[in-house]
Structure 1
Amino acid sequence: MTDMNAIQGRTHLKTESIASRAERRNPEFSQRLKSAVLDVNSKQHTADQSAEAVIKGEMGIHEGMMAMGKADTSLRLLAQVRNKVMTAYNEIMRMQI
């Protein structure tokens, strides 16, 4: 029983407001989009550097192809997200008030 009392004495409720926790956990859509674009750009640069390294013989073909595959997949995903966002935007614009 003394162990339970020791645990209860150490626990406390968080005093951070719900709004600040939600803001910290859920950044704005524009920030997420910017982060995604920067990530795709970084992967594209990595793929370009990997291709050059494969040509120079500094990297194996498998590693280079994996880097290019990751870049391709991330670019396709970003394009699909863009398409879905544009479809949703157009649908909202067609709504009657």
Structure 2
Amino acid sequence: MMTGIDGINKISLNTEPLPDRISRRNPEFARRMEEAIKDVNSKQHIADDSIEKVIQGEMGIHEGMMALGKADTSLKILAQVRNKAMAAYNEIMRMQV
């Protein structure tokens, strides 16, 4: 006659209560992303202002183009970081547990 093995229970990945999981999260990544988005937004506003100043003759075209270049580069970098984060998330979601 076979008997069950004592001490073996069903294993669940969701045994930890949600408030405990939330309290362990590290908000640093989210904070860094938020700061990066604000920085890119700020550079976009500076570029917009510099375009107006170039049109009005208050700023040289070289300075205006530099501001546009910085805004463009920062937006492209942020988009690549987002793409990498989404790719990592999708890869994690495809993992079999």
- When normalised by structure 1's length, the TM-score is 0.72
Deviation string, structure 1 residues 3-39 (Cα, Å, up to 9, x no partner): xxxxxxxxxxxxxxxxxxxxxxx96100000000000
Identity over the aligned pairs, expressed in percent? 75
CA RMSD of superposed structures (Å): 1.2
**For the residues of structure 2 that align with 1:88 and 1:56, how far apart are their CA atoms?**
46
**Aligned pairs (5 A) from 1:6-45:** 28-45=28-45
After superposing on structure 2, the runs of 4+ consecutive aligned residues of structure 1 that deviate more than 3 Å are none
Query: 5+ residue gaps in structure 2?
Result: 1-25
- When normalised by structure 2's length, the TM-score is 0.72
Deviation string, structure 1 residues 51-94 (Cα, Å, up to 9, x no partner): 00000000000000000000000000000000000000000000
Determine which structure has more spread, i.e. the larger CA radius of gyration: 2
